[in-house]
Every structure is written in C-alpha cells, then in structure tokens.
C-alpha cells in the first residue's frame, strides 16, 4: 500500500481533561518562542557588539528552534482545540523531514558551540585567529548539512515502508520511530539506519561536549583569581544549561521502552514546545552582552519618542 492520504494523531486524547489547559500553555509558549528567538536574531544583526562567533551560533540555534516550533505547534494547537485530530499526508511528510533535520542539526550545533567555548576559555589569545568568520560559517554549515543528510536518509526510508490497516499515530506529530511502529512490513533496515544514523548526533556530539567541558573545567580551576573563574564560568553556564535541557529529555525519550509511550510523549512535548522558549530566556537572563544590547535599544527608542520636532 502507498503512503496514506492522512493520519490520525491521538496526541493527548487519553487525557481529555488536560487538552484545554494544555492548549493554553502551547499557545502562550508558541507566541513567546516566536518573539524570543526572532528578537535574538534581530538583536545580533543590529548590534555590532553581538556580531561574534558565540552569537552567530546562537542565531543558528534560534533559527532551528523557530523551524521546529512552526512545523509542529500549529498542528498541535489545531488537534487540541477541535475534534478533528487528523493530519494530511503533506503535513506529516513535512514534519517528518523538518523535525529529523532540526533535531540532528541541533545536536551537531551544540557540539560546535562547545568547541567555541573551549577555544574562548582555553586558548583566549588565539580565539579571534581560530574562530574566524569563515571558519564559523563552515562549522555551522557542516551542522546543517549533516542534519539534512541524516533527515533525507531516515525520513526517505520511512516513507518507503508499507502502511496497512489503521493509520493512527499515538503521538502529537509525525516522527520516524512512531511511523516505523505503524508499518506492517519488515523494518529491520529502518531500525538499523536509525541507530547508525543517530550515532554521530546522540553519542558523538554529547561526548564532544563532555570532552570540551572537561578541558574547560581544568582551565577554569587553574585560573588564579576567583573573579576570573567566575567570569569564565559565566560565559559557559548558559550553553551548558541549554545542552542539558536538550540532550537530557532527548536521550530519555529515545531510551524509553515501547510500553511507556505516554512518558515519551510528554518528554517530546517538553522538547518541541518548552525548550524553544527556554533557550532565548536562558541567553537573555544570563548574558550581560544581550542585556546591555536590549538596554541600548530601549534607551534609543525612549529618546526617539521624547524628541519632538520644533
């Protein structure tokens, strides 16, 4: 049988009392995610002081968060608000490719950001020489391209599976592991491709982060002054917190046995809805450069409003 024309998404229908309050949370998070991540991108474009490698990678992270949010959340809101919980084939395919692309790219990008922090802390005198603009562009492009290659491989193999009988997904969006479970043919090659394809992103990327922060911790402990240690730690704390919030739920979700679909669903909800809003909050609240940039823009707006032509 060919790919179905539509799928039914069960979402959180097993908790009907939760759907209305959950839709309010999703709507507020959606608006704040759009505002927060868009403002970070615009802020780094208009403020020359934020045109540094760290904020270039942060812009890429914000773009990834916007992509996954705009692909998944509108359909989730539609399903939570109304009785119709179906998704068209084109919508399902779009979610499949974009979510896989964004998820794997973000794994690689967070590892790249860890390397950036390593160079900044462990090789500060060579930082501008090593992290040149063209080098940063190549590192970001490698993250996006590796994620795209993984998405094309896994999603395309999934779409070639035969889907027989009911077309009901026990999830709130179309994802590779969920669709593989629905297939009625042999999925051995798909399972193998998913495991092998995720090794660089789910294992090597976190390992690279751990290695980078091991060297960073050693370098910070060797600093003579407490003020220097605090300053060095503050430049890494935001990224470390974002890494924990990303890899923690993601690893937990993919390690869940098939029987615990409800837990995996809520962890996936956290990753798709809550994490994209936490990233700009973490970098805004814990970053003095971003706070200063906001103050400058707000002050300039205040001066423009107070100025009246004679």
Confidence of residue 186 (pLDDT cuts 50, 70, 90): confident
pLDDT mean over 274-285: 84
Assess if residue 15 is contained within a domain. no
Q: Per residue in 3-60, pLDDT tens?
A: 778 899 988 888 888 888 999 999 999 999 999 999 889 888 888 878 889 899 999 9
303, pLDDT greater than 90: no
Output the pLDDT for position 202. Answer: 83
pLDDT mean over 191-219: 89
The secondary structure of the chain as a DSSP string is ----SEEEE-TTTTSHHHHHHHHHHHHHHHHHHHHHHHHHHHHHHH-GGG-SHHHHHHHHHHHHHHHHHHHHHHHHHHHHHSS--EEEHHHHHHHHHHHHHHHHHHHHHHHHHHHHHHHHHH-GGGHHHHS-HHHHHHHHHHHHHHHHHHHHHHHHHHHTS---S--EESSSS--HHHHHHH--S--HHHHHHHHHHHIIIIIIHHHHHHHHHHHHHHHHHT-SSHHHHHHHHHHHHHHHHHHHHHHHHHHHHHHS-TT-HHHHHHHHHIIIIIHHHHHHHHHHHS-HHHHHHHHHHHHHHHHHHH----
Q: Per residue in 208-233, pLDDT tens?
A: 999 999 999 999 988 888 887 887 78
Domain span at 261: 6-10+24-296
Assess if residue 123 is contained within a domain. yes
How many separate domains does the chain show? 1
pLDDT above 90: percentage of residues in the chain: 42
Assess if residue 304 is contained within a domain. no
Output the pLDDT for position 62. Answer: 94
Assess if residue 121 is contained within a domain. yes
Output the pLDDT for position 252. Answer: 64
Assess if residue 237 is contained within a domain. yes
Output the pLDDT for position 258. Answer: 53
310, pLDDT greater than 50: no
306, pLDDT greater than 70: no
Assess if residue 308 is contained within a domain. no
* Whether the model pTM is above 0.85: yes
CATH number at residue 235: 1.20.1070.10
Assess if residue 301 is contained within a domain. no
Q: Do 41 and 52 contact (CB within 8 A), yes or no? A: no
120, pLDDT greater than 80: yes
Assess if residue 164 is contained within a domain. yes
Output the pLDDT for position 305. Answer: 59
Q: Any idea which residue has 């090659």 for tokens?
A: 189
pLDDT mean over 149-162: 91
């Amino acid at each position: 049988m060919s790919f179905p024309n539509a799928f039914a998404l069960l979402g959180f229908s097993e908790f009907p009392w939760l759907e209305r309050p959950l839709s309010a949370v999703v709507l507020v998070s959606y608006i704040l995610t759009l505002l927060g991540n868009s403002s970070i991108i615009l802020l780094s474009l208009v403020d020359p002081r934020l045109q540094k490698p760290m904020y270039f990678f942060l812009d890429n992270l914000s773009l990834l968060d916007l992509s996954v949010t705009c692909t998944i959340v509108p359909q989730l809101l539609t399903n939570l608000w109304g009785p119709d919980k179906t998704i068209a084939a084109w919508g399902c395919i779009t979610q499949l490719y974009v979510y896989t692309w964004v998820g794997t790219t973000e794994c690689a990008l967070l590892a790249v950001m860890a390397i950036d922090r390593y160079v900044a802390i462990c090789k500060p005198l060579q930082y501008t020489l090593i992290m040149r603009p063209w080098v940063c562009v190549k590192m970001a492009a490698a993250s996006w391209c590796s994620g795209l290659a993984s998405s094309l491989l896994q999603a395309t193999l999934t779409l070639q599976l035969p889907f027989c009988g009911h077309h009901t997904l026990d999830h709130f969006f179309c994802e590779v592991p969920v669709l593989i479970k629905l297939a009625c043919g042999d999925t051995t090659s798909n399972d193998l491709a998913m495991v092998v394809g995720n090794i660089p992103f789910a294992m090597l990327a976190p390992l690279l982060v751990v290695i980078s922060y091991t060297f960073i911790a050693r370098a910070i402990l060797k600093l003579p002054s407490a003020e220097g240690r605090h300053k060095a730690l503050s430049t890494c704390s935001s990224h470390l917190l974002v890494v924990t919030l990303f890899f923690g739920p993601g690893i937990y979700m993919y390690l869940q046995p098939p029987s615990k679909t409800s837990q995996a669903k809520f962890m996936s909800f956290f990753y798709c809805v809550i994490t994209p809003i936490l990233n700009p909050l973490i970098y805004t609240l814990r970053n003095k450069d971003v706070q200063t940039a906001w103050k400058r823009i707000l002050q300039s707006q205040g001066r423009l409003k107070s100025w009246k032509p004679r």
